Amino acid sequence: MELSTVVYLALAILGWGLGAFFDKACLKYMDASGAFYVRALVMIALFAPMVAWKHSHTKQALLGSDRLGPLFVAGSVIVSMAGVFFYLKALSGGEASRIVPLSSTYPFVTFVLAVLFLGESFTANRLVGTLLLAGGVYFISK
């Protein structure tokens, strides 16, 4: 793996870890549905100016892609935001130290779908690694 990839991965892990911490902290002050909608409002306020600033790039990406590109983006947004909503609901009813690791078993779903529908290679090492990761997360949360 290139160094830049490792740095980006470390930053993503840090961001997700801090995000889960702030998610649980905010649930002390508002319910999960309210946190979800406030999150959406903050995202719109932060990202609308960025999209406007990069309007030509966004337009080029939309017009230059196959028709399925924007549909997959929309699908990603819809299912990701649904995941966030249900994650916040689960987090509001449980301990962060249990809910966050258990919600992090989603790579198994991605692994199966990527092999079945994206033509990614199936290897025993990837399967065992993904299962060990999911199993380890399960035991950490016990």
Same structural domain for residues 57 and 126? no
- Closest Cα partner for 139 from 106, 105, 93? 105
Rg, Å, the chain Cα set: 18
Alpha helices for the chain (secondary structure H): 3-26, 32-53, 55-63, 68-92, 96-103, 107-117, 124-140
Same structural domain for residues 112 and 82? no
Same structural domain for residues 11 and 59? yes
Residue 103 amino acid letter: S
Same structural domain for residues 113 and 85? no
Q: Which domain holds residue 115?
A: 104-142
How many domains is the chain partitioned into structurally? Answer: 2
Q: What predicted TM-score, i.e. pTM, was given to this entire model?
A: 0.79
99 within some domain: no
Per-residue pLDDT tens digits for 65-115: 888 888 888 898 999 999 999 999 999 998 988 888 888 888 888 888 999
Burial of 114 (0-12, 13-18, 19+ CB in 10 A): middle
Same structural domain for residues 41 and 79? yes
